[in-house]
Structure 1
Amino acid sequence: MVLRDAVEADLVGIMEIYNLAVENTTAIWNEHTVDLANRLDWWRQRTNAGFPVLVAVLPAEERVLGYATYGPFRPHDGYRHSVEHSVYVHPDRRGEGIGGQLMAMLIEHARQQGRHAMIGGIDAGNRGSIRLHERFGFRQVGLMPQVGCKFGRWLDLALLQLTLDDSATPPAVTVRASEPR
């Protein structure tokens, strides 16, 4: 297995994993599957903004076994040092350590980019994902009861956070006037 940056040819595999999660799990709180044009737009937006989209592939087949990414935590300037991430593994390859390898690479990427905090919003009932995050040092910092729904039931959102560095203060920035928001 090889971990690398995703290329356009990987989007079919990413789309398959995403759609399987939509149809069968509460890992993604969407109820509609996506098409290839959607994933292409998503991938371009992420990579053009400097965010990673990583894949785990079998080199001989170029089959996508899992993918990981992060993007903005929230859209406001004050959150620029924090990112929210996602890690997904094809259902027939779960339990093989692929998610952990993708997570490790994603965390290292965030540190190299100078990010300060990585946040995961996880279905509170997804014990496997929560355990994976805890193994990497994430800690639960919040629980939001019944903020989502899927498959005819309310879902609780667990917020997990990993602080990526030990800086006491954020990098200096010059405050500038901007257009009204």
Structure 2
Amino acid sequence: MGAAGSLPLIRDAEPGDLPAILRITNDAIENTDALWITTPFTPEQRHQWFEDRVAQGYPVLVAVDPDGVVAGYGSYGSFRSYEGYARTVEHSVYVAPDYQRRGIGRLLLRALIGHAKAAGFHVMVAGITAGNAASVAMHCELGFQDCGTLPQVGRKRGRWLDLLFMTLRLDDIHTVEKDFS
């Protein structure tokens, strides 16, 4: 990261950020169990995802280091498409490999929590690969509760994966990030 100890700027993503978002996403697909898919996204697919999120009023946030490099991104969208779930969202946060373990994921998630609360959502859901200790710890630190594990519901690289669900009741949050910086 640029200047020692400098925190990244969290801001709304712009179309020019999509190549970096694509690289970060595809790295997660190819090198981790965070995304349970095996085929990297194309630029067109990421562009369509971005356009869909924006059209639906959902945020796509980026963490930008002091040198202007996109270090990570986060977003949330519908948890389920039925109207009974209309006040529940599911989020994702991804950080570029060179920027991991620096608190960037936490900053992005805090900003997403603040955004979702301000938008009037009631619950935020995290679906986490059960063995991802860093993600589980971050979510616990920010108040998410373990709601159970679905064993062996996913498969990647010839292995069965467990899915841990964690939730945060946004109505219980009293202080939130007011802006993204």
Normalised to the residue count of structure 1, the TM-score between the two structures is: 0.89
Deviation at 1:22, TM superposition (A): 0.2
Q: Which residue identity lines up with residue 148 of structure 2 in the other structure?
A: G
Q: Distance in 1 between matches of 2:65 and 2:136?
A: 26
Measured against aligned partners, the alpha-carbon deviations of 1:84-132 in whole angstroms (never above 9, x if no partner) come to 0000000111110100100110000000000000001000000110000
Displacement of 1:151: 1.1
Other-structure match for 1:134 = 140
- State the partner residue of 2:29: 22
User: More relative contact order in 1 or in 2 (CA 8 Å, sep 6+)?
Assistant: 2
Question: 1:4-58 CA deviation, whole Å, 9 max, x = no partner?
Answer: 0000000000000000000000001011001111111000000110000000012
1:11 matched to 2:48? The reply is no
Contiguous gaps of at least 5 residues in structure 2: 1-7, 173-181
> Which 5+ residue runs of structure 1 have no aligned equivalent?
167-181
Does structure 1 residue 56 correspond to structure 2 residue 63?
A: yes
Instruction: Tell me what 2:99 maps to.
Output: 93
2:79 matches 1:73: yes
SS for the counterpart of 2:111 is helix
Query: 1:174 corresponds to which residue?
Result: none
Give the TM-score taking structure 2 as reference length: 0.89
Count the aligned residue pairs. Answer: 165
Q: Which residue is equivalent to 2:152?
A: 146
Q: Indicate the residue corresponding to 1:164 in structure 2.
A: 170
Letter in 1 for 2:79: F
Residue 171 of structure 1 corresponds to which residue in structure 2? none
Listed one character per residue, the Cα deviations across residues 58-105 of structure 1 (whole Å, up to 9, x for unaligned) are 243x32100000000000000000000000000111110100100110
Aligned residues with identical type, % of pairs: 48
Q: CA deviation at 1:142?
A: 1.6
| Matched residue SS, 2:70 | strand
Q: Shift in Å at residue 146 of structure 1?
A: 0.3
